[in-house]
Amino acid sequence: MTRFPIVLLDYDGTLAETQPAILRSLKEAFEASGYKGPSSDALKHQLSKGGTLQTLFQAIVPDSDAEDAQAFVRHYRAYYPKADQEETVLFDGVKSVLDDLKADGATLVILSNKHAPTVHASIERFGLGGWISNVIASEPDYPHKPDPRVMTDRVRPLFPEVPASDFLMVGDTAADLGFARNSGIASCWASYGHGSATQCIDLKPDFQIDSIAGLLNVAR
Q: By C-alpha distance, which of 41, 42, 52 is closest to 12?
A: 52
Q: For the chain, what is the domain count?
A: 2
Q: By C-alpha distance, which of 53, 46, 52 is closest to 73?
A: 53
**Is-contact 47 108, C-beta < 8 A?**
no
Which range is least confidently modeled, 32-41, 150-159, 162-171? 32-41
10 Å CB burial of residue 32 (0-12, 13-18, 19+) is middle
Quick check: is 67 in a domain?
A: yes
CATH number assigned to the domain comprising residue 40: 1.10.150
CA distance 6 to 160: 12
pLDDT for the residue numbered 21: 96
pLDDT of 12 over the 90 cut: yes
Do 56 and 95 lie in one domain? The reply is no
CATH number assigned to the domain comprising residue 110: 3.40.50.1000
Q: Alpha helix locations (H) across 88-196? A: 94-103, 116-126, 149, 174-183
Q: By percentage, how much of the chain surpasses pLDDT 70?
A: 100
pLDDT for the residue numbered 51: 80
Quick check: is 1 in a domain?
A: no
For the chain, the residue count is 220
Task: Convert the pLDDT of each residue in 28-76 to its tens digit.
Answer: 999 999 998 889 999 999 988 888 888 999 999 998 888 999 999 999 9
* 212 — pLDDT class (breaks 50, 70, 90): very high
Do 32 and 58 lie in one domain? The reply is yes
Q: What is the average pLDDT across 173-192?
A: 98
pLDDT of 1 over the 90 cut: no
pLDDT of 167 over the 90 cut: yes
Torsion sign over Cα 75, 81, 85, 89: positive
Quick check: is 70 in a domain?
A: yes
Do 23 and 56 lie in one domain? The reply is yes
User: Which range marks the domain in which residue 153 is found?
Assistant: 6-17+89-219
Do 114 and 142 lie in one domain? The reply is yes
Do 133 and 94 lie in one domain? The reply is yes
pLDDT for the residue numbered 36: 85
pLDDT of 191 over the 90 cut: yes
CA distance 36 to 73: 16
Q: Tell me the angle at which helices 53-60 and 66-87 cross, rounded to the nearest 10 degrees.
A: 120
Residue type at 139 in one-letter notation: E
Do 78 and 143 lie in one domain? The reply is no
